[in-house]
Amino acid sequence: MNGAFILGSARCGSTLVSDLIRLHPELLSLSEVFSTAGARAFPHGRLTARQFWRGLARPTRIGTLAGNPKRAPREFLYGSQKGNRHDPFHCPPLLQVALPHLSAAPDDLFDALAAEVAGYPRQSVADHYRQLFDGMARRQNRRVWVERSGGSLVATRTLAALFPKARLVLLTRSGPETVLSMCDYPATRLAARMWHRLRGIGIDLLDPLRHYGRGRVWPVLQALSFAMPVTPMLDDPAEPELLARFWSEMMIRGARELAALPASRWQPLSYEALVAAPERELTALAKALGVDAPASWLSEAGALPLPRPSRAAQLAVKDRARLEAACAPGEAALAALTASRSAA
């Protein structure tokens, strides 16, 4: 079965894209599977079924602090249905977003998947994910699965290597607009602060080979998170320039990884273009994912992208100039990547 990944930063419009994909009759929309798995998203070596499922089913301190109805009321989906069997503030990672995004009975789907995964052989994490995603797609009679996690651009090299046949879509949005949205979101404040602090001791959250979720150090740090000031890093207001530097660095590294791949392997998608011309961009997205764009989907999905007033335009002149300067390296990297792809 074919698969694809939507790559991007957090707060770049990727949740909207997941919603658009979910409406397509041939696509299975997998939302935030990797991001909610967190430090255990891409372990090395061969895993038993039990080890693989534990990464998707066992709550973690950081995951439950960042993803719950209080800190992420719009993004966190579990608990909106009646009769939930888990505490929304301490539920399995797979139930935080992915399964409620797909089903009105996420607990039943969780139990069915647990029983199915229990029979998987010992295999790599990529083979486990493929078997899981293929099975989920067949359950809903979908032909292509599409995983989308906020911040997944950092994992470009990992995803390209683990899933060599998967299509990649790079979702971009204006740097200043993305950063201002990141400032409002607890999980991105935490990520930027972790990146800033840990670099001082030689640990790089954005390293293309040892990024968060892939590097062997992350489960260790997660186990030690009780000694970390996680709550203030989530809740305290963040300086936009810190988030802008974090965003720029992610764009620079992601662009470098995509530039190393054949141009046929990935497709760009601009949030601004999607809002301005939804049917045109949805048609291009469907083609990139290997499916048709039926008129009914274009009509229904095309009504969802709506223009929003610019937040950057509302800043004081000096504040906006500082923000744009901090975003400029990332914007330049994306522009160069797009130009090189067009020339290829």
Domain containing residue 120: CATH number: 3.40.50
In the predicted model, is pLDDT for residue 344 greater than 80? Answer: no
Q: What is the pLDDT of residue 225?
A: 87
DSSP 205: T
Q: How far apart are CA 25 and CA 198, in angstroms?
A: 43
pLDDT number for residue 41: 97
Tally the residues of the chain: 344
- Mean pLDDT within 105-121: 97
CA distances from 333 to 35, 164, 175, 224, 339 (A): 24, 24, 11, 35, 10
Q: Per-residue pLDDT tens for 259-316?
A: 999 999 999 999 999 999 999 999 999 999 999 999 999 999 999 999 999 999 999 9
pLDDT tier for residue 59 given thresholds of 50, 70 and 90: very high
Rounded CA-CA distance 208/258 in Å is 11
By residue range, what is the domain housing residue 244? 2-343
What is the pLDDT, as a whole number, of residue 242? 98
For the whole model, what pTM was predicted? 0.96
User: Residue 124 belongs to what H/E stretch?
Assistant: strand 123-124
44 has a pLDDT exceeding 80: yes
Beta pairing, strands 144-148 & 123-124: unpaired
Give CA–CA dist 271/273, Å, rounded.
5
Spatial separation of the C-alpha atoms in residues 88 and 154, rounded to whole Å: 28
Share of the chain above pLDDT 70, in %: 100
Give the pLDDT band (50/70/90) at residue 81.
confident
Q: Work out how many domains the chain is built from and give that number.
A: 1
**Per the structure block, which two tokens stand in for 321?**
């100039």
pLDDT band at residue 118 using 50, 70 and 90 as cut-offs = very high
pLDDT of residue 224 exceeding 90, the answer is no
Q: What is the mean pLDDT of residues 216-228?
A: 90
* CA 321 to centroid of chain Cα atoms: 29
Q: For the segment 1-10, what is each residue's pLDDT rounded down to a tens digit?
A: 999 999 999 9
pLDDT at residue number 219: 94
High-pLDDT (> 90) share of the chain, % = 94
Kindly report the average pLDDT of the chain as a whole number: 96
Tokens of 74: 């719009």
Contact between 29 and 148 under an 8 Å Cβ cutoff? The reply is yes
Structure tokens at 202: 């030689």
Name which of 158, 136, 174 is nearest 31 in CA terms: 136
